[in-house]
Amino acid sequence: MNGTAHSLVLHRTHCLLLASGALFVPEADLLCVADLHLGRSERAARRGGPLLPPYETRATLERLEEAVALAKPATVVALGDSFDDDAAAHALDPGDRARLLALAEGRRWVWVAGNHDPGSMGAVPEWRGAGLVFRHEARAGAEAGEVSGHFHPKAACPGLRGRRPCFVTDGRRLILPAFGAYTGGLDTADPDLRALFADRAIAVLTGHRALAVPLPPARRCGAGG
């Protein structure tokens, strides 16, 4: 482990959880990112909300460009909520659109549909490859090898200030952190999120280095009460 990635076997597939928040699957030459939420500020403004700084698409694309330039994957899977809504996908700034197309050029690009962007860019509800199944939101009781996003998990580590976006996995299923610039987070202790994993599970924090920490076991009903 050189710090920029955490290496693990998910179900039967070797995976690299990158410090950038993207997943790389070497045997399939595949890069996967979740929850880009492009066009978030545009959507907020369109709906009469606050006028957020309109730079998140640029910031997210810059990070995505870096990740793609490093991995040079044959396939990219965007794991849903790539756009903050379907209209945001159409309202994408021409410059940003050109950057996105340039990124996709010469490689296969799979848009998985999310709850925010169910109908954009011919997105598919789920996609299978490299022995894994990619869908936006984890399903209770799903088969082993499920890769998903949606929750925007975040966790803390002793010695680091605040919480950071993180991967969560128990070796059967993997949830990715949100890759988008304007995304909040859900603590890994959240019962809905925690319940998706076995007792023995880890969070891999993103940032300069990928940092694995154990996930506290789920609180059992009645314990301590």
Partner 1 sequence: MLAHAGERAVLLVAPTGAGKTLAGFLPSLIDLASGGREGLHTLYVSPLKALAADIRRNLLAPVEELGLPVRVEDRTGDTPQAARRRQRAEPPHILLTTPESLALLLSHEDAPHLFAGLQRVVVDEIHALAESKRGDQLFLLLSRLEALAPGFRRVGLSATVEDPEAMGRCLAPAPRDATIVRAPSGAEPDLSMMSRRPPPWAGGAALHAIPEVLDLVRAHRCTLVFHNTRAQAELFFHHLWMQNDEGLPIAIHHGSLAREQRQAVEAAMQRGELRAVVCTGTLDMGLDWGEVDLVIQMGAPKYVKRLVQRIGRANHRAGGRSRAVLVPAHRFEVIECVCAIEAAREGDLDGQTRGPGPLDVLCQHILIRACSGPFAADDLYAEVRTAGPYRDLPRADFDACLDFCATGGYALRAYDRWRRLVEHDGLWRLRDPRSARRIRMNLGTIEDKGTLKVRLRGSQAPLGEVEEYFASTLSPGDTFLIGGQIVRFESLREASVEVSRRRDREPRVPAFGGGKFPTSVALTRRILGLIEDRSAWVRLPRHTAEWLDLQARISRLPAWDRLLIETFPAEGRWHAALWGFAGWNAHQTLGLLLTRRMEAEGLDPLGFVATDHALLISGLRPVEAPARLLEPEGLRDGFEGWLAGNAVMKRTFRGVATIAGLIERQMPGLRRTGRQATFSSDILYDTLQRYDPGHLLLRVTREEAQRGLVDWGRIEEMLARVGPRIDHVRLTRVPPLAAPLLLERGRVPVEGRGRERLAEEAAARLLEEAGLDAL
Q: 83-86: long-range contacts at Cβ-Cβ below 8 A with a sequence spacing of 24 or more? A: 83/36, 83/37, 83/38, 83/39, 83/116, 83/117, 83/120, 84/37, 84/38, 84/39, 84/40, 84/42, 84/43, 84/116, 84/117, 85/39, 85/43, 85/116, 85/117, 86/117, 86/118, 86/119, 86/120
Shortest Å distance, C-beta 104 to partner 1: 22
Determine which residue in the list 15, 16, 32, 42 makes contact with partner 1, applying CB under 8 A. Answer: 42
Determine which residue in the list 142, 144, 170, 218 makes contact with partner 1, applying CB under 8 A. Answer: 170
b/e burial code for range 183-208 (CB count within 10 A of at least 16 → b): bebbebeeeebbebbeeebbbbbbee
Nearest-angstrom CA–CA distance, 119 and 101: 19
The reply on whether position 211 binds partner 1 by CB under 8 A is yes
The reply on whether position 222 binds partner 1 by CB under 8 A is no
Determine which residue in the list 106, 141, 222, 224 makes contact with partner 1, applying CB under 8 A. Answer: 224
Three-state SS at 219: coil
Are 191 and 162 within 8 A, CB to CB?
no
The reply on whether position 162 binds partner 1 by CB under 8 A is yes
Residues between 175 and 204 that touch partner 1 (CB under 8 A): 178, 181-187, 189, 200-202
Residues between 78 and 107 that touch partner 1 (CB under 8 A): 93
126-155 footprint of partner 1 as x/- string (CB under 8 A)? -------------------------xx---
Shortest Å distance, C-beta 75 to partner 1: 26
Binding interface with partner 1 (CB under 8 A): 3, 8, 42, 45-46, 48-56, 58-59, 93, 151-152, 156-160, 162-163, 169-171, 178, 181-187, 189, 200-202, 208-209, 211-214, 219, 224-225
